[in-house]
Amino acid sequence: MKSGKSKQPLVSVLITVYNGMPFLKEAIQGIQQQTYKHWELIVVDDQSTDASLSYLRLIDDERITILENGKMGRGKALNYGLKHCRGVYVAINDADDFSYPRRIEKQVHFLNSNPDYGLVGSNFTKLFSNGVKVDSHKSLHNQSLRIELSKHSCVQHSTVLFRKSVLDEIGGYNTRIKYLFDRDIYIRVAEVSKIANLPEHLVVINRHDNQFFLHTYKGFERQLHTLKVNFLAIAKLNLPKYLYISRTLTFVYSILSNYFRQATQLWKK
């Protein structure tokens, strides 16, 4: 497939999976149905105990590479996959999410047209287990996204297309942390390049009870780590210093709100 006189750049799609069934099959089919055809798919199985690996081994598609390297955990699995990505661009697709057919086409066009950008995400649709769908309305432009990185993850991981040269420059994912691998890497990419979201809803994000971080990353530990990442964004991106106070006050308010809510529940008992 040609784009003008030159061959389209190779896109490496990276999926890491731990017990990804039943969503994994749809995730992979979403990549196979892309209108953009010059891609490879790297799937890293993080020692799944369900039928994920059995399913992956049955796929007959020479564009798909299945990697097994024992139990690594999320961050190491992502970096292990990145070592095998040959593309000019790297698209992230979580194992339980589905990319619409024109996702890669649209994002490649954006990065081809904007060489000063290191990543582009998009809006998305959340699909809950009860069938409810909610469309996102994320900020789109570099400056607003940089500010928002000091508050929350304003880019959805499963929507991201990275420029591989930028990932190489920053050293990939930070395996010294346990949570917020996505926001940490966005901050480090934003430190050396511009970032953006596309307005279109290009991915379906499945929300379900089996998601790992839903059960392991919560409470005070989550709030404290989030504050640390907020401070990281403010420092690395040279954001206004008043944001340190603003984010700290939000943290304190959240802690006190949780305390009073728990105290009220105990009093009612």
Which residue carries 């954001």 as its tokens?
239
pLDDT in the model for residue 103 = 98
Beta strands in 144-248, from DSSP E residues, in sequence order = 161-163, 194-207
Peptide bond into 22 cis (omega under 30): yes
Per-residue pLDDT of the chain in tens (269 residues, 90 and over written 9)? 333 334 789 999 999 999 999 999 999 999 999 999 999 999 999 999 999 999 999 999 999 999 999 999 999 999 999 999 999 999 999 999 999 999 999 999 999 999 999 999 999 999 998 889 999 999 999 999 999 999 999 999 999 999 999 999 999 999 998 889 999 999 999 999 999 999 999 999 998 666 555 545 567 788 888 999 999 999 999 999 999 999 999 989 888 877 777 667 667 66
pLDDT in the model for residue 253 = 85
Residue 252 domain-assigned?
Answer: no
Question: Which range marks the domain in which residue 60 is found?
Answer: 2-211
Tokens (6 digits) for 142: 């570099």
What is the enclosing helix (H) or strand (E) of 263?
Answer: helix 242-268
Residue among 189, 211, 173, 204 nearest 18 (CA): 211
Residue 134 domain-assigned?
Answer: yes
Q: Is 171 helix (H, G, I), strand (E, B) or coil?
A: coil
pLDDT in the model for residue 31 = 98
CA distances from 230 to 88, 139, 167, 194 (A): 30, 17, 21, 18
Residue 218 domain-assigned?
Answer: no
Tokens (6 digits) for 139: 């900020």
Residue 150 domain-assigned?
Answer: yes
CATH number at residue 177: 3.90.550.10
Residue 251 domain-assigned?
Answer: no
Residue 245 domain-assigned?
Answer: no
Residue 182 domain-assigned?
Answer: yes
pLDDT in the model for residue 254 = 82
Rg of the chain in Å (alpha carbons): 19
Beta carbons within 8 Å of 246's beta carbon, 6+ residues apart:
none
Name the pTM for this structure: 0.90
Residue 261 domain-assigned?
Answer: no
How many structural domains are present in the chain? 1
**Dist CA 159 CA 198 (whole Å):** 10
